Structure 1
Amino acid sequence: MKAVTWQGRRNISVDNVPDPQLQEPTDAIVRITSTAICGSDLHLYEVLSPYMDRGDILGHEPMGIVEEVGSEVTNIKAGDRVVIPFNISCGHCFMCSRGLQSQCETTQVHEQSTGASLFGFSELYGSVPGGQAEFLRVPHANYGPVKVGHDLPDERYLYLSDILPTAWQGVKYADVPDGGTLAVYGLGPVGQFAARIGKHLGYRVIGIEPVPERRAMAQRHGVETIDFTKDLGEELRSMTGGRGPDSIVDAVGLEAHNSPVGAFAQNAVGLLPDALAQKAMDVAGVDRLSALHSAVDAVRRGGTISLSGVYGGTASPMPLKTMFDKQIQFRMGQCNVRSWTDELLPLVEDPSDPLGVTDLVTHEVSIDEAPIAYKTFQKKQDGCIKVILKP
């Protein structure tokens, strides 16, 4: 089969690799019909490359048609159409039973002291082959796959794999008071959905984004937008009665703009041999923190900051004095996808499309064009906001 494989920093290719096979009685094989490039994939493309091995199959936002199931899989069958959550969870362990599927004790990666295994996301999360391919082996298929109908196009359902529940969790974690103001840092795919979800839930939403095309997309959905500037905190306070937003979703993460120190650290680590680079990331501050530090400055006293963006440095410095003084609450973590899919499925199937799932993709290309699409997405060229690959 064809698959998108990692070959080195900023170097991916489309290769012919062996088709996946059932390995456990709880597995399923899914023929992929659509799969997306996520902002997290760009971290593997660049900053987190020390955790990748040549030939790793990328991708964690897939959906498709079930081809084959193991003997113990009873909830789906061949011919069913399914969306595959990016985290692999069993559904019955201590963590899953508490709605923390991203911490699934059955699939935790103990060698890296990390949470549940993820599709296509490096040795940090289990080195499980990803979904940017023609076929995908899905472990724990009795629980993970979300069965959907056959009538609506893929774009209605695909984002249930990751970015839509990630945005939903981010807004829920932000604990916005009724009628309150939510600021969303970063209007990439997750930020776009977080802003739309905020509007859907009745909040005032302000999106912060340096790229004009992304601001324009958010404005189509009633979101106020501003550029990311050095006076951003003052601007947000002036828009909110002098206090600042009640809540902030940081949908940017470790590769934020305007973070020269973090950018230098990331580039320096990227030049080291993998073993030394991994050690450096374990003990150093390698995140670009401009967005997060700005959020700490801007959120009102007693407000909440919700982190949906991925951070990777263990020793990244934080302004604890300010955080303590302002009594800021933080919530964060990988999305617990299966905790939210039952709430979200009716919204994506609603003919009125209240979350605007049909207005996100800017580039739909063949899987053969994945190397070019990665470059375009990373460099934010050609108005690129979301890329869908068709195997």
Structure 2
Amino acid sequence: MTDTTIVKCLVWDLDNTLWRGTVLEDDEVVLTDEVREVIRTLDGRGILQAVASKNDHDLAWRHLERLGVAEYFVLPHIGWGPKSQSVRKIAEGLNFAPTTLAFVDDQPAERAEVAFHLPEVRCYPAERVTALPALPEFSPSASTVDSRRRRLMYQAGFARDQARETYAGPDDDFLRSLDLRMTIAPAGHEELTRVEELTLRTSQMNATGVHYSDAALRTLLADPAHEVLVVTMGDRFGPHGAVGIVLLEKKPSVWHLKLLATSCRVVSFGAGATILNWLTDRAARAGTHLVADFRRTERNRVMEIAYRFAGFAESDCVCGSALGDPAGRIERLHLEPSPRPTPSTLTLTAAAGIPFTASAAR
């Protein structure tokens, strides 16, 4: 299958794929320097790695620890069930579309089983492992601070989820216990690659599905009528990194929200709703209407719900006429804003250059 979509997670088989040898038959298995370098290279590019192996879990995991690579793998599935089931659970655990996963195995029958049940997942034979970093689907256009620490952020996220499962109180109390912090700031030139990456990688919480290139973002950054804003978050478990982008064109009577995209990792923290409330509060105090672009895709239903709950709806308001006719399948959703508070579960700050009001703080 030919696909230039960037792989977000590579799922490894173990025996005679990740390492040479078989756990249940050999006293020791061998990890070659070439494969070790593949693991490190993909990790540095922000590509997550997981395991789907038919093996004794404890024994296989001890080998991963002995070889010094256990830390590189998230959501390992080591057992005796079908590998397609393991790959599906990994995708669900990461909240990734199957199209963004790849699977590598030395056994043609195992690759065929995964391909049959999950045809969107790209499958590779073990002999191609060392060639994977050179393939376009494993080669993001840029390496950013967030991409280089993506695995660590996901691992912190799993620890956060585990803490949530064991927390006995109400959800709002748990969210307050996280000490959630959100910052909204103008994108600098060094942050544009992070912004571009968000428009490329985010599908569920992307209002239009449009990818803005680095060149396009730099043009908008130089335009005084546009704001290119980066949203970052963190909590007591560590940084979430850059989790959102707001692309706003400001006209005298209407602010045009051309793009809102947030990482699926922060959906449960209400990031999208918080950003929309903050933006609505700003627009209300500026005395201007808001018009948001929205284009339905196969995966962004959650973003549409966020817009609707924020009060955006179809309208014949004349303010939209200043924006010209929407192209293609773009819808224009309208809101006549009123001041909004930020949820008490989160501390919101805005960096220099962004007007900020008391109602936007906790």
TM range (shorter): under 0.3
TM-score, length-normalised on structure 1?
A: 0.26
Structure (1 or 2) with the greater helix fraction: 2
More relative contact order, 1 or 2 (CA 8 Å, 6+ apart): 1
TM-score, length-normalised on structure 2?
A: 0.28
The structure having more radius of gyration, on CA atoms, is: 2
